[in-house]
Amino acid sequence: MAIVLSIDAGTTGVRTIAIDQHGHAVASSYQEFTQYFPQPGWVEHDAEEIWDAVQATLGEVCAGLSEAPAAIGITNQRETVVAWSRATSAPLYKALVWQDRRTAARCEALEAEGLLPTVRAKTGLVLDPYFSGSKIEWLFTKGGVASGPDTAVGTIDSWLVWKLTNGAVHATDATNASRTLLYDINTLEWSSQMCEVFEVPAHVLPEVRPSSGSFGVTGSSAACGAGVPIAGIAGDQHAALFGQTAFTEGDAKNTYGTGSFVLMNVGETCPPPVEGLLTTLAWVLDTPEGPQATYALEGAIFVTGAAVQWLRDGLQIIDEAAELEPLALQCETTDGVYLVPAFTGLGSPHWDPYARGTLVGLTRGTGRPHIARATIEAMVYQTRDVVDAMTKASGTPLQSLSVDGGASVMGLLMQLQANELGVPVRRPTMQETTALGAAYLAGLATGVWGSLDEIAEHWELDVEVRPNVDRSATEAGFARWHRAVERSKGWEEA
């Protein structure tokens, strides 16, 4: 039976999974890497450590395989940028991570110049330090990186393709390109206008290819051995949408990981910009008629699961993430406590890089259970904020929400989310949907799977949770949430 390898290079670690033709994981390996916080609001990774984690997990998974893998798919933390030397393959600076806020003032200045409508129309994004464009500019203007012919720049996927192919291929896929602020999602090309704004010379950028197609073959130094085709790439949230087999217009998913990202398939025509949300490429498939793009609306929530890590590592009120739900169940409500986890500013639908985390409504009766429950409720309310914006824009109410990601194991989260949205929340048996999506993209290009319909047959329901309260019961709490959000906004000064 054919095996497809999937490399999921996330924000906190790399997971490599071997996936069989049924879409089941047959082997898996995970390795964390270091998070660097050199200044408040700055977040960096070492690209070499990410590569080492890829090699270690790839090696471990491949050691247990009895046959050569048919293909490799790559999925990755999005927007994070690396610059490296083509001659030596050495990184020229630490990777600037999507959570990094160092370019907030620059984005604000560009907005003051009136650039936002152009950005919305061409890239589907907004002017926020979250995206790659201002980070690449920073590397050149403040980071001392030369922009000459030896310099290559790219998101993590393109760095890994470069390393896996021994420097033979400098390419990315259209979903990753669509997060850079430099890519025109209407024409599927780098935008010369946006590259001029951020002074990014075209020669440093990777070639953009369909998400399912050819990205070269592995070289002899890759831990899986030489000659394995790299045949699928997508940013983690796009891969998760594909892994949830959300192939029909209106299908939506939410991944509760470090942050939460709600994506809805909106079909093959690029829709007009929606206030508070992003328009992005869901994926681009290689067809005999040429590249075929599918678009998505996206709500990007920066912190959900990361707030659980903060309770564990920062406040130390739990020892491990799995203690959160039992602790939260020790109280029936938060008694008016709200946590707005705006630790790195607020994304959709508020877009405020100066917002900061806020814990309000504390009384002498507040205890650990209330804060635990408020952390789960923050995931639920933030998701409702973006789903409301999405359904308002599309004019069609959501039918159900497919969920995945580390925090989606919590039954309480699923129940509260179903109640807050008024629709069933569904979780598949295969929860590594991000890795699965990248494997599907790679297997589709190499004949492991013949069609989207064939792939969709592998989606299996694990748990479905239906609303168990009247919709009106949630309204007062949701209104109060917005009062808490207002208090978190504009806290940090430019």
Handedness of CA 473, 474, 475, 477 (dihedral sign): positive
Minimum separation from the CB atom of position 348 to ligand ATP (A): 16
Minimum separation from the CB atom of position 302 to Mg ion (A): 14
**Residue 437 binding: pick among Mg ion, ligand ATP, none (C-beta 5-8 Å cut-off by kind):** none
Pairing of strands 252-256, 290-301: unpaired
Decide if 215 contacts 284 (C-beta within 8 A).
no
**Residue 308 binding: pick among ligand ATP, Mg ion, none (C-beta 5-8 Å cut-off by kind):** ligand ATP
Pairing of strands 3-9, 71-76: parallel
Pairing of strands 338-340, 252-256: unpaired
Q: Tell which positions 64-83 bind ligand ATP, by CB under 6 A.
A: 77
Dist. CA 86–CA 163, nearest whole Å: 11
Kindly tell me which of 218 and 258 has the beta carbon lying closer to ligand ATP: 258
Decide if 95 contacts 83 (C-beta within 8 A).
no
Q: Binding pattern to ligand ATP, positions 438-457, x when CB under 6 A?
A: --------------------
Minimum separation from the CB atom of position 409 to ligand ATP (A): 5
Contact call for residue 369 and ligand ATP (CB under 6 A): no
Contact call for residue 10 and Mg ion (CB under 5 A): yes
Chosen residue from 124, 345, 405, 477 binding ligand ATP by CB under 6 A: 405
Chosen residue from 2, 121, 409, 463 binding ligand ATP by CB under 6 A: 409
Q: Binding pattern to ligand ATP, positions 10-39, x when CB under 6 A?
A: xxxx--------------------------
Q: Residue 242 phi/psi, 5° resolution?
A: -70, -40
Minimum separation from the CB atom of position 256 to Mg ion (A): 11
| Residues in the chain, overall count | 494
Contact call for residue 154 and Mg ion (CB under 5 A): no
Contact call for residue 406 and Mg ion (CB under 5 A): no
Minimum separation from the CB atom of position 324 to ligand ATP (A): 5
Minimum separation from the CB atom of position 61 to ligand ATP (A): 17
Closest by CA to 452, choosing from 461, 443, 462, is 443
Kindly tell me which of 149 and 411 has the beta carbon lying closer to ligand ATP: 411
Q: Which residues bind Mg ion (CB under 5 A)?
A: 10, 236, 257
Q: Which residues bind ligand ATP (CB under 6 A)?
A: 10-13, 77, 257-258, 305-306, 308-309, 321-322, 324-325, 405-407, 409-410
